[in-house]
Structure 1
Amino acid sequence: MKKRDKIIYWVATLWLALGMTSTGIVQLIKMDEEVAKITQLGYPEYLLTMLGTWKILGVVAILTPRFALLKEWAYAGFFFNMSGAVYSHWAAGSDPTEFFGPVLLIVLTATSWYFRPADRKLSLNNSIYS
């Protein structure tokens, strides 16, 4: 792996981890602003606990060495979560500024996934627990 690719991977991954951890914590502690936002989108408040937990677990999966299959699931979960957020804001007629965070996290997810090192990728030679 080229040095440039490693730098891109780690910058994107650390920013992704920071973004998902911070929003996950905000969701887990149910900050008033977050509760207002999710109810304005039409979702129940209890969804915050589920989303926050999954985000924190996804960050752990992506930053932990090995477990390539688990990493794939975490990246997919981040993508589905953030694309769902974009769609939800669009469907609810949210202010365009609400799109920035989820779109940025989608870009960071895709960048981190694309530039991940070979030992963090699934391959035919990997077992499902690699």
Structure 2
Amino acid sequence: MSKRNKVVYWIATALLSLGMLNVGIVQLIKLDVEVETMTILGYPHYLMIVLGVSKILGVIAILVPKFPLIKEWAYAGFFFTVAGALISHLILGQPVDSLILPFLFLILTAASWYFRPADRKIASNRFLTSY
């Protein structure tokens, strides 16, 4: 892995992790702004607990060494959660500024996943040789 790819990976992963940890905590403590957003989007408030815990566990999964399969699931969870938020805001015709953060998290998730080191990936030929 080139030095540039390592730098891109760690910057994207650090920003993604800090952002997801921040949003996860905000959702767990049910900050008024987040409650209002969930109400506007039409989601039940208990979903904030599920999302908050999932985001915090996802951050742990992508930062801890080893466990590449769990990392894949965490990245997939981040992607679908953020894509769902982006789509929810779009469908309801929310202002453009409400799309910036979900879009940024989508880009950071993709960048962190794409540039991750080989030891954080599932070896693709491992499954092919078992047949």
* SS of residue paired to 2:50: helix
Spell out the pairing of 1:87-106 with structure 2 (5 A cutoff).
87-106=87-106
Superposed displacement of residue 124, structure 1:
3.8
Aligned partner of 1:114: which letter? Y
* SS of residue paired to 2:94: coil
How far, CA to CA, are the matches of 1:57 and 1:117 in structure 2?
20
Superposed displacement of residue 14, structure 1:
0.2
Spell out the pairing of 1:37-56 with structure 2 (5 A cutoff).
37-56=37-56
Instruction: State the TM-score, normalizing by the size of structure 2.
Output: 0.94
Instruction: State the TM-score, normalizing by the size of structure 1.
Output: 0.95
**Tell me, which stretches of 5 or more residues in structure 1 are unaligned?**
none
Aligned partner of 2:26: which letter? V
Superposed displacement of residue 96, structure 1:
1.0
**Tell me, which stretches of 5 or more residues in structure 2 are unaligned?**
none
Superposed displacement of residue 67, structure 1:
0.3
Spell out the pairing of 1:52-91 with structure 2 (5 A cutoff).
52-91=52-91
Spell out the pairing of 1:10-25 with structure 2 (5 A cutoff).
10-25=10-25
How far, CA to CA, are the matches of 1:64 and 1:56 in structure 2?
12
What is the aligned-residue RMSD (CA, Å)?
1.1
Which ranges of 4 or more aligned residues in structure 1 deviate by more than 3 Å? 124-127
* SS of residue paired to 2:110: helix
Query: Residues 39-64 of structure 1, C-alpha deviation per residue, up to 9 Å, x if partnerless?
Result: 11000000000000000000000000
What's the counterpart of residue 5 of structure 1? 5
Superposed displacement of residue 126, structure 1:
5.6
Superposed displacement of residue 19, structure 1:
0.5
Percent identical pairs in the alignment equals 57
